[in-house]
């Protein structure tokens, strides 16, 4: 018995010491991330359709000037509530290179619903030249590729400071961002009050714009989340009902014995 008590106590002490350890180094080198309440987090969370549409607007009007989103096709926008004609209109203004044709020539054409999002630059070199040497990463999986992705991207976009601390000398073309590892980033500040005019009349504050675009980017990385969470909820309800049935059955079967 004493042995048992000792081992339980030491297990408890171990658990406490482990939980007191600092968390593993984060992508942002420990910069404090202000946690947001995301509608899709938790067991039963789901995407807010209106936020997804607004977030697409921000991506399309702002981020798409520098960042590609190669894993998403225009027709996928139907999942966040865009109609067929709207999707055709969104794709139809983007040009891409296709071919070769019968003559063996490459040609340019306008994008169709079945095409993937057209990247803003022909290749990585062209993207770097236009961005002072820095490469804007593809954003399809960015919320998965960074630790605490949604909170990280949210804080990053709002993490710019006009004047860096006195001991920091900015390299040419860089901006000071307290959240980016190393604090110097090749992406200029993007989020401003009234940056976009939302079709649904929502007020475009910096926080609102950022929350919406992060919601959209998380959908891009995890489009099946709503279906998965829905299935989880149904499964739980099913199991609860099954448990109740089995319990009732057990009571009936054993009623003679008791
Ligand atoms: C003018 C071009 C430009 C625009 C517009 C732009 N970015 Fe960037 N972005 C960049 C560049 C360049 C980098 C790479 C920075 C570096 O490595 O120093 C970058 C990096 C990033 C990163 C990666 C940070 C990391 O941890 O590596 C994220 C996330 C990001 N941008 C999100 C966005 C979002 C969201 C928008 C739209 C609201 C946006 N960007 C608009 C140029 C741009």
pLDDT at position 29 is: 53
List pLDDT tens digits, range 161-203.
999 999 999 999 999 999 999 999 999 999 999 999 999 999 9
Torsion region of 81: left, alpha or beta (phi above 0 gives left; psi -120 to 50 gives alpha):
left
Identify the residues whose C-beta falls under 6 Å from ligand 1.
58, 62-63, 65-67, 131, 134-137, 142, 146, 153, 156-157, 185-188, 190, 213
| Ligand 1 centroid, distance to 137 Cα (angstroms) | 7
- What residues form DSSP beta bridges with 110? 95
Classified by CATH at the fold level, domain 31-69+138-223 comes out as Cytochrome Bc1 Complex; Chain D, domain 2 (1.10.760)
Closest C-alpha to ligand 1, atom 16: 186
List pLDDT tens digits, range 22-64.
444 444 456 789 999 999 998 889 999 999 999 999 999 999 9
Position with higher pLDDT, 153 vs 258 = 153
| Ligand 1 centroid, distance to 64 Cα (angstroms) | 10
Across the range 14-22, mean pLDDT stands at 45
Closest C-alpha to ligand 1, atom 14: 136
Closest C-alpha to ligand 1, atom 2: 66
Sign of the CA dihedral with 48 first, then 192, 62, and 36 last: negative
Q: Where are the domains of the chain?
A: 31-69+138-223, 226-258
Across the range 8-12, mean pLDDT stands at 52
């Amino acid at each position: 018995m004493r042995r048992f008590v000792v081992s339980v106590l030491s297990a408890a002490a171990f658990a406490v010491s482990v939980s007191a350890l600092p968390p593993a180094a984060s992508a942002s080198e420990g910069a404090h991330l202000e946690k947001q309440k995301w509608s899709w987090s938790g067991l039963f969370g789901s995407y807010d359709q209106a936020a997804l549409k607004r977030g697409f607007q921000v991506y399309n009007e702002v981020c798409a000037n520098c960042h590609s989103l190669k894993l998403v096709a225009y027709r996928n926008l139907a999942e966040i509530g865009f109609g067929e004609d709207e999707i055709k209109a969104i794709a139809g203004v983007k040009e891409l290179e296709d071919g070769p044709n019968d003559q063996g020539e490459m040609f340019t054409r306008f994008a169709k619903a079945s095409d993937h999002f057209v990247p803003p630059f022909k290749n990585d070199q062209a993207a770097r030249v236009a961005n002072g040497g820095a490469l804007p990463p593809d954003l399809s999986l960015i919320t998965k590729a960074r630790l605490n992705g949604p909170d990280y991207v949210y804080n990053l976009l709002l993490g710019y400071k006009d004047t860096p601390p006195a001991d920091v000398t900015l390299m040419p073309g860089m901006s000071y961002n307290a959240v980016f590892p190393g604090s110097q980033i090749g992406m200029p500040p993007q989020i401003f009050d009234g940056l976009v005019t939302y079709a649904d009349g929502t007020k475009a504050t910096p926080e609102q714009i950022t929350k919406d675009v992060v919601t959209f980017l998380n959908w891009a990385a995890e489009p099946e989340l709503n279906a998965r969470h829905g299935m989880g909820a149904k499964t739980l309800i099913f199991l609860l009902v099954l448990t109740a049935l089995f319990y009732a059955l057990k009571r009936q079967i054993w009623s003679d014995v008791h």
